[in-house]
Amino acid sequence: MTGLLNKLSARGYKITPQRRIILQVLSDSDKHLSAEEIADKVKQIEPGISVATVYRNLNLLAEIGILSRLNLHEGPARYELNQGHNHHLVCLGCGNAIKLGVCPMQGEIKKIIEESGFEVDSHHFEITGYCQKCQARQKL
Amino acid sequence: MTGLLNKLSARGYKITPQRRIILQVLSDSDKHLSAEEIADKVKQIEPGISVATVYRNLNLLAEIGILSRLNLHEGPARYELNQGHNHHLVCLGCGNAIKLGVCPMQGEIKKIIEESGFEVDSHHFEITGYCQKCQARQKL
DNA sequence: ATAGCAGTTGATAATAATTATTATTTAGGA
DNA sequence: TCCTAAATAATAATTATTATCAACTGCTAT
Ligand SMILES: [Mn+2]
Ligand SMILES: [Mn+2]
Ligand SMILES: [Zn+2]
Ligand SMILES: [Zn+2]
């Protein structure tokens, strides 16, 4: 938490109560949250904070690498404290995004893409389906 | 073209002038087009056609497999006549979506995902960067 | 050919997610 | 404490798409 705030001021950004609370909310969560979910939790702590401030800061925090933005194929973007490069199994039942410990941008595939002459900037790999909990729920 | 129209009526959908024109526009294009781009071209042929009709039919045609929808990470969805399962190299310069002849959902990665107990419904792999043309353009 | 009606359309309102605008406030350095 | 660039709150605007609904039309059965 303190480290995150330091990263902000080290880059010349101010440490505002709004930013503290947004980071607190994200620290307290163990899953990805949408901007709206974050704004709701933030307002439980400090009702005066504007949703625009939440969006503004989520953008900033993602830009400087404090957060990672998970831009799902559909629905709103989701955020969490940056935990490094990852891909996800996204459940159509409960919406959970489960980290997948593997990345397709390597080995043969990486080689093929490089050899095509395309200059890679970023990549995105997303699997949708049903997590084990939701599979069990369907069978009831 | 005739085959596509047959597929429509075989499923109980009517062959309307609007649908003919939308399919014509897509047949005439060699790249992905957004709904708006399609609507523009459609209106050049028949100005009275509503943009809502274009959206409505793009959804229908994608649903029954006549078109494939390319839901890019950002920006509007893009459509083309269905040419089978594919992933793309999307150029940040010119917007072109170049087909990548390979799919990560196979071999080791597929096995890892299956073994996780997650029931896969679909997957999405998208590489963004710069195509060779746009790389050359940058160097000028 | 004609009538009937489910399917379709055009016009427009609504929605969802996010960004832009702008007057006001504030964090943090001098 | 003062100053000012940065940040905020409130709200309008934007983008892409879907929903609504009255009017229309392709097809099928007469
Ligand atoms: Mn990766
Ligand atoms: Mn694939
Ligand atoms: Zn689930
Ligand atoms: Zn390009």
Q: Are residues B101 and B120 in the same domain?
A: yes
Average pLDDT of chain A is: 95
Residue where a domain terminates, one of A34, A50, A83 = A83
Distance from Cα A19 to the centre of ligand 4, integer Å? 38
Q: Are residues B75 and B122 in the same domain?
A: no
User: Residue B98 — pLDDT band, cuts 50, 70, 90?
Assistant: very high
Distance A131 CA to D1 C1' (A): 59
Query: What range defines the domain where residue A16 resides?
Result: 1-83
Distance B56 CA to C13 C1' (A): 16
User: How many Å apart are CA A7 and CA A13, to the nearest integer?
Assistant: 9
Distance from Cα A103 to the centre of ligand 1, integer Å? 4
**Burial (CB count <10 Å: 0-12, 13-18, 19+), residue A90:** buried
DSSP A81-140: E--SS-EEEEETTT--EEEES--SSSHHHHHHHHHTT-EEEEEEEEEEEE-HHHHHHHH-
Instruction: Please determine, for residue A109, whether its predicted confidence score (pLDDT) is greater than 90.
Output: yes
Q: What is the pLDDT of residues B51-92, one digit of tens each?
A: 999 999 999 999 999 999 999 888 899 999 999 999 999 998
User: How many Å apart are CA A129 and CA A106, to the nearest integer?
Assistant: 24
Q: Are residues B112 and B100 in the same domain?
A: yes
Number of domains in chain B: 2
Sheet arrangement for strand A87-91: A97-100, A87-91, A119-130, B119-130, B87-91, B97-100
User: Residue A132 — pLDDT band, cuts 50, 70, 90?
Assistant: very high
Q: Are residues A36 and A76 in the same domain?
A: yes
Neighbouring C-beta atoms of residue A50, cutoff 10 Å:
12
Q: Are residues A69 and A108 in the same domain?
A: no
Residue where a domain terminates, one of B83, B105, B125 = B83
User: Residue A15 — pLDDT band, cuts 50, 70, 90?
Assistant: very high
pLDDT mean over A47-59:
97
CATH code, domain carrying A43: 1.10.10.10
> Most confidently modeled of A38-42, B74-78, B96-100?
A38-42
pLDDT mean over B8-17:
96
Q: Are residues B73 and B22 in the same domain?
A: yes
CB contact under 8 A, B124 and A100: no
Instruction: Please determine, for residue A17, whether its predicted confidence score (pLDDT) is greater than 90.
Output: yes
Q: Are residues A139 and A101 in the same domain?
A: yes
Q: What is the pLDDT of residues B18-54, one digit of tens each?
A: 999 999 999 999 999 999 999 999 999 999 999 999 9
Q: Are residues B133 and B71 in the same domain?
A: no
Can you give the pLDDT at residue B139? 79
